[in-house]
Amino acid sequence: MNPIRIATPCIGLCSTTYGDSVCRGCKRFAHEIVDWNRYDESQKAAVIARLAKIIEDVVNRYLMVFDEALLQSALAESGFRYRKEQAASWWVYDLMRQTKGRISQPAVCGFRVLPEVRGVELPEIWEAMNREFLALSEGHYERYFRQPLSFD
C-alpha cells in the first residue's frame, strides 16, 4: 500500500532566502522549508494543518463559500492551481491569490463577500487577507519557535 504523499505548499515566492523567518509566499517557517524533504508525512501534515486553520480563519472573516462544486469548477476551468485535498477555504484563498482579487463576479465562482466587508473591493480584500495570514503566521512563529537572543 502506497502512503499518501503530502505535497509542499510552496508557491514559488520564497522570501526566506532574503532572511524572513516566515515565508511571504507559503507562510511556512524558514526551518520548515529547509527541512521539508526530511519531514515524515505526519510532520508535513502538521504544517499543512496549521496553515489550513489559519487560512480558514482568515477567509471566513471576509468571504463565504456557498458552492464548493462551483468554486472547484471555476478553478479547474480557469486553469488555476489548487489542491483538491484541501478545504474550500484554501481553494478560495488560492483563487484570490492567483487573481490578486481581480474577480468580477465572485458568485459565479461559488463565493460571496461577507456583509461586514461589503463595499470593499476584492483586490483590497485579497491584500487584507494576505497581510493577516502573514501576521498570524509570524505571530505563531514568534510565540512558539523564535529562539531568544542572549541579550533578550
Q: Report how many helices (DSSP H) and strands (DSSP E) the chain contains, helices first.
A: 5, 2
Query: What was the pLDDT predicted at 149?
Result: 54
CB 140 within 8 A of CB 49: no
Closest CA to 5 of 30, 42, 31: 42
Query: What was the pLDDT predicted at 104?
Result: 93
CA 70/CA 24 separation, integer angstroms: 29
Cα 69 to Cα 58, 84, 85, 111: the distances in Å are 21, 11, 13, 11
Query: What was the pLDDT predicted at 18?
Result: 84
Q: How many domains does the chain have?
A: 1
Range of the domain at 107: 16-137
Is 5 a domain residue? no
Query: What was the pLDDT predicted at 99?
Result: 95
Sequence-distant (≥ 6) Cβ neighbours of residue 152 within 8 angstroms? none
Low-confidence ranges of the chain (pLDDT < 50): none
Is 61 a domain residue? yes
Is 2 a domain residue? no
